[in-house]
Amino acid sequence: MTVYIGSIAYFHANNLIFGLMRGRWIVIVMISSIVWAAGCRSGNKSGPNIRKVKLDMQVDHFEKDFFALKTKEIDKGLVALKTKYGHFYVDFMYNIAAFSMEDSVLKKQIQRFIKENRSLYDSIDYYIPHLNSQLKEVENALKRAKIYFPDLALPTRIITYLGPVDGFGSFASKAGIGVGLQQFLGQKYTGYQSDYLASLYGGQRLHQFTSAYIAPAAIGCWLSKIFPDKAGRYTLKDKMIEEGRKLYVLKALLPNLPDSAIFGYTARQMQWCQNNNYLITRYFEHENLLKTKSPEIIVEYISDNQRPDSLPKEFPNNIGRYLGFLFVKNYMENNTKTDLPGLMNMELWEIKS
């Protein structure tokens, strides 16, 4: 793989050498980028009318019941929690919080967790003042899913919880869609400012730890569960398309959110991507990346906290998912009879061809 110096000027120089960017072609590319970007912004609200769509959605706050547990009656409280939350009780205890399955140890861990996180729990309304509106976005997305995917069994329960910051921020459970409030506290929460979290998630991922990303994270997690990857020993382009079509559906289910929230970028990163579609595509083609099957290389382009050394600095992390979205968008524009269920159920070679 050619090693890049991280300079867009250098990249354009390469394209000039190959004779791919003559004056007239540059103008065409610039105009098409501007037009595409204007159409891709979410300023103009769209999507199906959901006013008459009925969806019996229940919203429960697991964290309220959990932090209401009394030390002297913890056994009784846990039975009540398990009865009320069913599958999610198990998911939270042993997957999200990763407590011990040994009863004597479990009780001590629960008591310690509540003590250490009590002040944070008491401040949830301060850090997420408009939680109900964010959860309404999740519900509305599922109403649109009911229109787009009439044969799909939809979750009828949203469950909020407060778990470890380095755990699951969203969780698709048999009981419903889980929203981990600990990962959406916003810039006011100083607990995100640690070397450990910076190393674990990276700056681009930590940027998404605000309430604006609750709906995209929750619905995106749900989509990944109901539409698992079709690719086996996949190429980078295969993985891009897998991710790209989920983004395409996510954007359709949340049409009123800014694209930056859908893609997990800052507004500036989003604008740069929308203005440089050709440049992004050309980079992957020039580097002969699309056919690679190397897991190490693939993860560097489909990750918020990893990036290859050769990627020019102007490119945001996780640029592979964005290019995958462009591939899918192009396919759908050229195959207008394909609906969203058709898109998600077709084989990858059909989109690639």
- Read off the pLDDT of residues 214-231 as tens digits, 9 standing for 90 and up: 999 999 999 999 998 875
Report the predicted TM-score, pTM, of the whole model to 2 decimal places. Answer: 0.86
Q: pLDDT-derived band of residue 348, with 50, 70 and 90 as boundaries? A: confident
Greater pLDDT, 221 or 36: 221
Average pLDDT of the segment spanning 309-334 = 96
CB 171 within 8 A of CB 221: yes
Which two three-digit tokens encode residue 305?
Answer: 């906290």
Nearest to 82 by CA among 73, 92, 95, 72: 92
Which two three-digit tokens encode residue 265?
Answer: 């970028």
What is the structure's pLDDT at 5? 38
Q: pLDDT-derived band of residue 46, with 50, 70 and 90 as boundaries? A: confident
Greater pLDDT, 42 or 55: 55
What is the structure's pLDDT at 275? 97
What is the structure's pLDDT at 352? 78
Pairing label, strands 176-180, 170-173: antiparallel
Distance CA 326, CA 93 (A): 39
What is the structure's pLDDT at 192? 96
What is the structure's pLDDT at 231? 58
Neighbouring residues of 27: CB distance < 8 A, sequence distance ≥ 6: none
In the chain, the amino acid numbered 336 is T
CB 145 within 8 A of CB 154: yes
Neighbouring residues of 280: CB distance < 8 A, sequence distance ≥ 6: 273, 315, 319, 322, 323, 326
- The region of weakest confidence among 15-29, 169-183, 233-247 is 15-29
Asked whether residue 19 carries a pLDDT value surpassing 80, the answer given is no
What is the structure's pLDDT at 350? 87
What is the structure's pLDDT at 117? 96
- Max CA separation in the chain (angstroms): 77
What is the structure's pLDDT at 232? 65
Helix (H, G, I), strand (E, B) or coil at 59: strand
Asked whether residue 21 carries a pLDDT value surpassing 70, the answer given is no
Q: pLDDT-derived band of residue 45, with 50, 70 and 90 as boundaries? A: low
CB 157 within 8 A of CB 175: yes
Chain-centre distance of CA 191, in angstroms? 22
What is the structure's pLDDT at 252? 98
Q: Mean of the per-residue pLDDT values for the chain?
A: 88
Average pLDDT of the segment spanning 71-90 = 94
Q: pLDDT-derived band of residue 103, with 50, 70 and 90 as boundaries? A: confident
Nearest to 325 by CA among 285, 256, 270, 257: 270
Query: Helices marked H in the chain — which ranges?
Result: 8-17, 23-40, 62-67, 74-85, 87-90, 103-122, 124-127, 131-148, 195-201, 203-206, 214-226, 236-253, 259-263, 267-275, 277-286, 295-301, 319-334, 340-345, 348-352
What is the structure's pLDDT at 238? 93
Asked whether residue 84 carries a pLDDT value surpassing 70, the answer given is yes
- The region of weakest confidence among 112-121, 180-189, 239-248, 342-351 is 342-351
Average pLDDT of the segment spanning 282-289 = 95
